[in-house]
Each structure stands twice: as structure tokens, then as C-alpha cells.
């Protein structure tokens, strides 16, 4: 059988594109089990759904353009002063506002990485300089290599943990990179979109010491951990001057009223939901990785809710995605990531039932059923 590369579903460069999947595989949207986007399998906290239902009549009002209640709650929750916080329409808008507000000429990225670092840089007129992580270091780049890149760019995006490989840099490495960024006056953007999936005691975050690094900015997403990608919400933590530069470029009301209310409910959802998510992801990730390895796949280590996987030869990511897609299971091809190859896919970690279905369908495909 031959497989066309153009059958892939990442026409917009991302997973989770159910419309394209419907058209490509000829199935109804609701019939897909989607492992191509990395969303908390528990769904949003129950309070968030209640708040959204009760708040629907409030859509007749404009949202607060200053995001004040959300920022007050966030400030208390993460222990950061309000003037160092900025809400965005997803982490993606925060990235765009950083590029618009700081106008870097050269942006640095470490491949493989989230495609928007490059895409947004090009959209806003910056050149991109890249280095590639090493497969032997779970696709991280070496500290010296990253510091060299800091010297060669005005702004550097670094995933912490990185997507698609799901691992963190050591905190000592991050500190050394942040210090190099201070000296060179390069902006260091730490993308912590997935860090909430890691239990607090295992997180390598610069957040508590961020005030020491004027050039370093942290971006976080609320869409993955709290399962609200359709609502859009993220935030930035940084020096007040950076926050002001970003705010000057933000379209008024870009963060909608329901997203702000949902965000407030997420922040109030409590430790039990967080712990339950982190524990579910840890146990399910181990089981899913084990099941995939037993089926002949190479699975890279991960600390979060997705796994970077190599399909066994002669399979390719495109062929595998197509075979699974026709059976109603969506996975992310990573063949188009600079630094990775035609064999690479990424799968989300979901709950036990969904993961068991994925493994069953994987076996079906491998056995040619």
C-alpha cells in the first residue's frame, strides 16, 4: 500500500484539527479519539463548567480589558505581583505580544520545538536561528550550545518542558542560560505551557527567582491542564516594562469574558484536581509507554502528558497516522518537525480506557487486520 504525505492532518501545523480529520478520514468529528492534541483527560474542573453555564447571560457585557479579577487571583495563587502579570488569548497570544512588544530581529529556537516559535517570528518579521537537540539527551541541546545561541539572537524561545519531547532542562542549566541572556541583553522566553502536569516538587521553574532576571519571561497556558483549548487563556510573567510593552500591542478585549470567568474558576479549583491529574498522567504515561515499547516502538522519556515515539520500520508517521485515522484514532505526525524524521509521531496520554483503545488499534494496524 502507498501512503501520500499530503494525507496528513496538520494542515495548520498543529494537532487537534478535527475538521481536517473529518474531511480526510470520512468520519464524524464525535467518533474520533484524539491523541493529536495534549489536553487533560479529566476535562475541565466541574466548577468551571458550572460557572460557564451560569455565566452565559453575561455574554451581553464586554469583558474587563484589564483582566483585573483574573490577575488578582493569579497573583495570589502564584505569588507574583500584579504588575508582573499579563493575560492573553492563550499562550500563543502571549508569544505574539512578546514579539510585537520587544521587536527582536533574530529569534533563536531549539529544534525540535513548538512550531509557533518559528511561525510567529516569521509573521512578525524576525529571522530565525536554530540549533538542534540531541537524541541521546532526549532531544535537549547542550547548555553551552544554548548559550551560544543566546549570543546570536535577540530573543530565545525555550520549551520547559519542551514540546514534542516532554522533558525539562535542569534548573542549573536554565539559570546559566538566563544569566547569559542578562549579559547579552537577549530576551529568554521560557514556555511553561505544560509545566502544571508535573508535580510542584519536580518542576524546574525559574518562577520564584524570576525577579533576578529582567531579561527572562515565563509563558504559561491554561488551555491544556484545565482542558479549555476552545476558550483560550494563557498568561505571561515578566518585568513590568516587558508587561507594559506587551499590553501596548494587545487588542482590547482579546481575552473574552467567559475565558476570564473560567480562568478564575480554574485558579480556585484546588489541589485535589491538580494532584489527581498529575497522578493519572504519571501512571497512564508509564503504562502507555510500556505498551508501545512492547509493540516495537521507540518511546522517548517524558515528564508530561505526551510521548514522542518512533514507529518501527517500514512504517512511517504518515502511513501510521492514516491507518489509525481511518479507524477513528488521531495521532500527531512529527515528520515535519525540523530535527525529527519520517518515523516520528507524538501521542497524548489520556485515561486508561482511551489508552487501551489506542494500544488495541495500534496492534490491529501492526497485525494488518
CB 156 within 8 A of CB 181: yes
Residue 236 bridge partners (DSSP): 86, 219
Q: Which is nearer to ligand PLP, 282 or 332 (CB)?
A: 332
Could you give the CA distance from residue 95 to residue 124 in angstroms, rounded to a whole number?
11
Torsion of CA 318, 319, 325, 331, to 10 degrees: -50
Using CB under 6 A as the binding rule, whether residue 197 contacts ligand PLP is answered as no
255 is a contact residue toward ligand PLP (CB under 6 A): no
- Toward ligand PLP, which CB reaches closer, 95 or 181? 95
> Minimum CB separation from ligand PLP for residue 306, in Å?
9
Coil vs helix vs strand at 331: coil
Alpha helices in the chain (DSSP H): 18-25, 46-55, 68-78, 90-102, 115-123, 143-152, 171-184, 240-247, 257-267, 271-294, 317-326, 352-366
Whichever of 17 and 191 has its CB closer to ligand PLP, that residue is 191
Q: How far is the CB of 307 from ligand PLP (least distance, A)?
A: 14
CB atoms within 10 A of CB 81: 11
Which of 88-96, 206-214, 335-343, 345-353 is the region at the interface with ligand PLP (rule: CB under 6 A)? 88-96
Query: Is 334 a binder of ligand PLP (CB under 6 A)?
Result: no
Alpha-carbon radius of gyration of the chain = 20
How many chain residues are in contact with ligand PLP, going by CB under 6 A? 12
Smallest separation, CB 90 to ligand PLP (Å): 3
Find the part of the chain contacting ligand PLP (CB under 6 A) among 85-93, 259-267, 285-293, 319-327.
85-93
Restricting to residues 98-127, name those near ligand PLP by CB under 6 A.
Answer: 114
Q: How far is the CB of 187 from ligand PLP (least distance, A)?
A: 16
DSSP 207: G
- State which residue, 89 or 343, has the beta carbon closest to ligand PLP: 89
Residue 90 as a binder of ligand PLP (CB under 6 A): the answer is yes
User: Residue from 41, 112, 133, 234 that binds ligand PLP (CB under 6 A)?
Assistant: 234
Q: Which stretch binds ligand PLP (CB under 6 A): 221-229, 258-266, 285-293, 313-321?
A: 221-229
Give the shortest CB-22-to-ligand PLP separation in angstroms. Answer: 20
Minimum separation from the CB atom of position 12 to ligand PLP (A): 11
Query: Whose Cβ is closer to ligand PLP: residue 24's or residue 236's?
Result: 236
Judged by CB under 6 A, does residue 96 bind ligand PLP? no
236, 98 Cβ separation under 8 angstroms: yes
List 92, 110, 178, 330, residue binding ligand PLP (CB under 6 A): 92
Question: What distances in angstroms separate CA 316 from CA 45, 235, 268, 295, 351, one per listed residue?
Answer: 37, 37, 44, 15, 26
Q: Do 186 and 158 form a contact (C-beta atoms < 8 A)?
A: no
| C-alpha–C-alpha distance, residues 139 and 49, integer Å | 37
**CB of residue 98 to ligand PLP, shortest distance in Å:** 12
The span from the CA of 198 to the CA of 212, in Å, is 24
Residues of span 151-180 touching ligand PLP by CB under 6 A: 159, 163
Quickly tell me which residue has 514540546 as its cell: 163
Nearer to ligand PLP, 221 or 284 (CB): 221
Q: How far apart are CA 139 and CA 105, in angstroms?
A: 26
Residue 229 binds ligand PLP (CB under 6 A) = yes
Report phi then psi at 109, rounded to 5: -135, 155
Q: Which of 121, 165, 215, 223 binds ligand PLP (CB under 6 A)?
A: 223
Query: Measured at CB, which residue is nearest to ligand PLP?
Result: 90
Nearby residues of 291 by Cβ (< 8 Å), 6 or more positions away: 355, 359, 362
Give yes or no for residue 44 binding ligand PLP (CB under 6 A).
Answer: no
Q: Which residues bind ligand PLP (CB under 6 A)?
A: 90-92, 114, 159, 163, 191, 193, 221, 223, 229, 234
Amino acid at each position: 500500500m502507498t501512503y501520500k504525505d499530503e494525507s496528513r492532518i496538520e494542515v495548520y501545523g498543529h494537532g487537534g484539527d478535527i475538521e481536517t480529520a473529518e474531511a480526510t478520514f470520512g468520519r464524524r468529528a464525535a467518533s474520533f479519539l484524539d491523541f493529536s492534541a495534549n489536553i487533560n483527560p479529566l476535562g475541565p474542573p466541574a466548577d468551571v463548567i458550572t460557572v460557564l453555564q451560569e455565566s452565559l447571560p453575561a455574554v451581553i457585557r464586554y469583558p474587563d480589558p484589564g483582566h483585573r479579577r483574573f490577575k488578582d487571583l493569579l497573583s495570589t495563587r502564584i505569588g507574583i505581583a500584579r504588575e508582573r502579570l499579563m493575560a492573553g488569548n492563550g499562550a500563543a497570544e502571549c508569544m505574539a505580544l512578546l514579539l510585537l512588544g520587544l521587536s527582536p530581529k533574530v529569534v533563536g529556537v531549539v529544534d525540535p520545538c513548538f512550531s509557533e516559535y518559528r511561525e510567529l517570528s516569521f509573521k512578525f518579521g524576525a529571522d530565525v536561528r536554530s540549533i538542534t537537540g540531541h537524541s541521546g539527551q532526549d532531544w535537549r541541546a547542550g547548555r553551552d550550545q544554548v548559550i551560544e545561541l543566546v549570543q546570536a539572537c535577540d530573543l530565545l524561545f525555550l520549551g520547559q518542558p519542551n514540546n514534542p519531547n516532554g522533558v525539562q532542562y535542569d534548573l542549573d542549566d536554565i539559570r546559566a542560560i538566563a544569566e547569559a541572556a542578562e549579559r547579552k541583553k537577549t530576551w529568554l522566553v521560557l514556555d511553561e505551557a505544560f509545566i502544571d502536569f508535573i508535580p510542584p516538587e519536580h518542576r524546574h521553574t525559574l518562577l520564584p527567582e524570576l525577579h533576578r532576571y529582567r531579561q527572562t519571561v515565563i509563558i504559561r497556558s491554561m488551555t491544556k491542564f484545565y482542558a479549555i483549548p476552545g476558550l483560550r487563556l494563557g498568561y505571561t510573567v515578566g518585568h513590568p516594562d516587558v508587561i507594559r510593552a506587551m499590553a501596548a500591542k494587545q487588542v482590547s478585549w482579546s481575552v473574552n469574558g467567559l475565558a476570564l470567568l473560567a480562568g478564575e474558576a480554574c485558579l480556585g479549583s484546588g489541589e485535589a484536581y491538580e494532584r489527581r491529574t498529575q497522578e493519572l498522567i504519571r501512571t497512564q504515561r508509564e503504562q502507555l509507554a510500556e505498551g508501545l515499547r512492547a509493540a516495537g516502538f521507540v518511546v522517548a522519556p517524558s515528564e508530561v502528558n505526551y510521548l514522542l515515539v518512533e514507529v518501527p520500520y517500514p512504517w512511517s508517521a504518515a502511513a501510521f497516522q492514516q491507518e489509525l485515522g481511518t479507524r477513528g484514532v488521531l495521532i500527531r505526525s512529527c515528520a515535519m518537525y525540523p530535527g525529527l524524521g519520517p518515523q516520528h509521531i507524538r501521542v497524548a496520554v489520556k485515561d486508561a480506557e482511551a489508552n487501551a483503545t489506542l494500544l488495541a488499534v495500534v496492534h490491529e494496524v501492526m497485525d494488518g487486520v
